Amino acid sequence: MIGSVQRAMRLLETVAEHEHGAPAKQLARKTGLALPTAYHLLRTLVHEGYLYRERGLFFLGEAAERLSSSGAEQKRRSTIAHTLAQWRDLIGVPLYYARYRDGEIDILCVSETPGNPAVHEWADFRETGHAHAIGQCLLFQLDEDARRDHLDRYPVQSLTRYTVRDAATLLRRLERVGRMEPVTERQEYVLGTVCAAVPLTIGDAAATIALSLPARQSDRLLPAARQLQREMGRRVGSLALAISI
C-alpha cells in the first residue's frame, strides 16, 4: 500500500464530514497525522483542486465534487443496466433505455444477448425518431411545439415501405396513443423487425424502455410490451431515481 495516498484519502473523507469546513489542526488530530504531514498533504490536495482553503478552513473542491457526481452518475447507469438485464432474461427480448435530452433522442443503454440481438443502427437513431418505436414514444411525451420543432430539424424520410410517409400523419398517430399505452412500429425502421416502447415520464423527463423482436414473432410484440410495462410498474421507484440525472 502507498501510505501517502491512504493518508490523503483519510483527509478527504474527514473534510467531507465537515460541511462548514475544518482547520488543519483539527483534520490532523482526527486523522491521526502529524501536523507537518497534514499540512503537506492538504497543500497538495488544494493544488490539485480536491480541496480549497478559505479563512483557514478546508472544504471539498471542484475536483472532489466532480468525482462524487461521476460516481453517482455511474451508479444510476449501473442500476438501469442491471434492471434491463433482469427484464431481458425474464421476457426474452433485447431492451433499450432512451431519453429525450436537449432536443435529441439519446439511447443510454442497450441490453442484448447472442440469442436476442439488438437492432443494428443502420440509420442514425437520433435522426430517424419518426421511424422507430423509441423515437415515436419520446415524441409522444413532448408537447406539440416540441414535436414540431424536432420534426423540422429531422424531417420524416422513408426508410422502408412501411415507414410513416409525412409529419402530419405521424402527429395524428401520436395524438391517438393512450397516455400509458405502448407505442409500436412494425418494420418502419428496418425490414424484418418490430418494436414496442413503453413511456416512462417522471417529472419533466421524457424517457422510454423499448423492446424489439423479429417480424416473424410479431404476435409476441404486445404481450411482451405489456409484461415489460408490469415489470416497470414494480420498479418505478428505482427507475425514477435512475433517470433523475
**What pLDDT digit, counting tens, does each position of 41-89 carry?**
999 999 988 898 988 999 988 888 777 655 555 667 778 888 999 999 9
**Residue 203: exposed, middle, or buried by beta-carbon count in 10 A (0-12, 13-18, 19+)?**
exposed
Spacing of C-alpha 56 from chain mean position: 40
Burial 18-27 (b: 16+ CB within 10 A, else e): beebbebeeb
- pLDDT of 242 > 70? The answer is no
Mean pLDDT for 94-122 is 94
pLDDT digits (tens, 9 = 90+) for 144-185: 999 999 999 999 999 999 999 999 999 999 999 987 889 999
- pLDDT of 113 > 60? The answer is yes
pLDDT of residue 24: 93
Mean pLDDT for 197-215 is 90
**Residue 104: exposed, middle, or buried by beta-carbon count in 10 A (0-12, 13-18, 19+)?**
middle
Q: Which CATH architecture has domain 3-60?
A: Orthogonal Bundle (1.10)
pLDDT of residue 19: 79
- CATH placement of domain 71-243: 3.30.450.40
The grid cell for 244 is 433523475
pLDDT of residue 137: 97
Backbone φ and ψ for 162, nearest 5 degrees, come out as -100, -10
Q: d(Cα 81, Cα 189) in Å, to the nearest integer?
A: 24
Count CB neighbours of 171 within 10 A. Answer: 16
Task: Find, among 190, 195, 138, 140, the residue nearest to 163 by Cα.
Answer: 190
Domain ranges of the chain: 3-60, 71-243
Q: Edge-to-edge, what's the strand order for the sheet holding 104-111?
A: 104-111, 95-101, 205-214, 193-202, 183-186
Q: d(Cα 105, Cα 99) in Å, to the nearest integer?
A: 6
